[in-house]
Amino acid sequence: MYNRIFWGFVLIGLGVLFILNQQGIVIFDLGEIIATYWPLVLIYFGLRGLIFQHRWGQGIGFGYLYPLIMTVLGVYFLGRNIDYIEMSVVDFFQYVIPFLLILIGLIIILRPSRRKSDQTEPEDALDFDLSECDGPHESKESSRDGAAPHSFIPEENWRTGDEERGADAGYAGAGYTGGETTGSFSKQEAPESHFSFLGDIHIGSANWQLKPLNVHHFIGDTVIDLTRAQIPDGITKITVSSMIGDVKVMLPKDPEVEASVVMTAFLGEFNVFGRREGGMLKNYREESPDYHYAPKKIQLTVNLFIGDFRIERI
């Protein structure tokens, strides 16, 4: 909505300026304006990418890197065009490379650790008094005083907190069927990381177990083949960040497996669920038609600087 309103006001403003120029009230050179203020496009889409990543991303990660680079480049070139920055392009890029190294290091340090968050339990969970719990055990003090004991509840009718939450939310993983568990509710595992500076990455082999993935690629193509993977129930997150290269994801022709895609790209083309589009400064979010009803969900986050993205069923 805000994006539509913004561009609507931009077009209205341009129309008013053209009318004033034709009337001789305001005199300006359109070519000079474009040559001076074109970096505003980089700044706009860079800030938009940062906001998009903040809303739909997975916390601090490499998804912030590419829109931040666009914003910095836009600010630099705009400053040069209006004579506010006197630093040459060569000197600027001499500072940009160390800045990128520092930024990547900070992202690696500040990224949240899922392993630690999964294994750490709140201290309050262990600080309780059994005498305050309603269960099959009676309070000895209440029995001595002649008070009515707590009502007895058979142990087979008890449910753990995870099972109760799973049954209430309709999770198949909880497996609760009236007091008898048919499955197990497992916590999401720590993501498996893949990194390559130069070369291609191919993930997928015969009968392999899919886990959450983080793929960081500088130059090269990335292929993720899920057609022969054992995909667990629930949501499995896959994050791919690539500077230069194509990304291809192959899904199995299984109605139980659906996917959602969040993609940002500076320059490239994407083909997602039959929709094909290309160009510069793309922010895109899409879900397969039956995503919300599928027991097995793949949540893809793809961040590209230059490259194409394709997802297809095989």
Contact 176, 183 (CB under 8 A): no
* pLDDT bucket at 178, cuts 50 / 70 / 90: very low
pTM of the model: 0.46
Per-residue confidence (pLDDT) for residue 202, from 0 to 100: 87
Residues 6+ apart with CB under 8 A from 9: none
**3-state percent helix, strand, coil for the chain, nearest multiple of 5:** 40, 30, 35
* pLDDT bucket at 127, cuts 50 / 70 / 90: very low
Domain boundaries, the chain: 2-110, 190-313
User: pLDDT for 286-309, tens place per residue?
Assistant: 888 888 889 999 999 998 888 888
Report the distance separating Cα 261 and Cα 270, nearest Å.
Answer: 11
| Pairing between β-strand 213-219 and β-strand 247-251 as defined by DSSP bridges | unpaired
Report the distance separating Cα 35 and Cα 18, nearest Å.
Answer: 17
Per-residue confidence (pLDDT) for residue 297, from 0 to 100: 93
Residue 133 vs residue 264, higher pLDDT: 264
Kind and range of the H or E element at 67?
A: helix 65-81
User: pLDDT for 57-75, tens place per residue?
Assistant: 556 666 677 778 888 888 9
